[in-house]
Structure 1
Amino acid sequence: MTELLSVDIQRIMEMIPHRYPFLLIDKVIDIAPGESATGIKNVTMNEPQFTGHFPQQPIMPGVLIIESMAQTAAILVVQTLGEGAEGKLVYFMSIDSARFRKPVTPGDVMHIQVVKKQSRGPVWKFESQVKVDGQVVAEATIAAMIRDN
């Protein structure tokens, strides 16, 4: 049985170049290198997007939910490829079949699961699903390419 790994926020910042306010995962758990990972995002009212989306009824923008999927996938890629991949950029190539099932609001904890579907050279493809309280709130198929900065 493979031991599942996890990384905290400090390690995430060593692995990918994103920073506040665009670092959209707080930790990554259950990493099975080359296979899958689960990111955790604690959604809080003090995040800058909520001043305008929407002031009277704050809702996490769908594009930021998709970005949290990509960041979780990037951690999986770096963990799989090793230290030589740390700090490299992971660029979106495609987002397919994106669906948003339920709004995500402050106080929610997003569990972002990514599962590798394929990788060919620097191109990786993932199925991703986001759950809050065990209920699917978003899903998408994403493809990305890892590149030197």
Structure 2
Amino acid sequence: MKLVIQRVKSAQVTVSGQLVNKIGAGSLIFVGVAAHDQLTSAVQLAAKVCKLRMFSDPAGKMNLNLFQVGGQILSISQFTLLADLRRGNRPSFQDAGDPEHAQALYHEFNQQLISHGADVKTGIFGADMLISLENDGPVTFEMEA
């Protein structure tokens, strides 16, 4: 499982011109599920995300987690994070999990975030989505399990 986490002032997701969800300040998380990923990946990453000190304290140091700043999470499934670009000019997605497996682990990841107390909004799994965001920093991290 691979995550790309961005600190945002705001973010929103639309599908077919319709607003699906939006958040204020917090984290925009793109979630890619690999074929070999298991439940433990979702559990570990959700716990780590909730503890990640990526928000600035009054001194400007990254010392606060999502809960300490009252932030929200916008979680977006993105299988392209698993693309293999080593050969040729066309991405290979053979490492990405099949849709049923990926959707189950994506859902479990979000449920784990919620169980830790996070305010989680999501996009629509498998849909072509338009993501709008206002980066804060910018601060972007990759995380894998």
Common fold: TM-score over 0.5: no
Greater relative CO (CA pairs within 8 A, separation 6+): 2
Give the alignment's TM-score, normalised by structure 2: 0.30
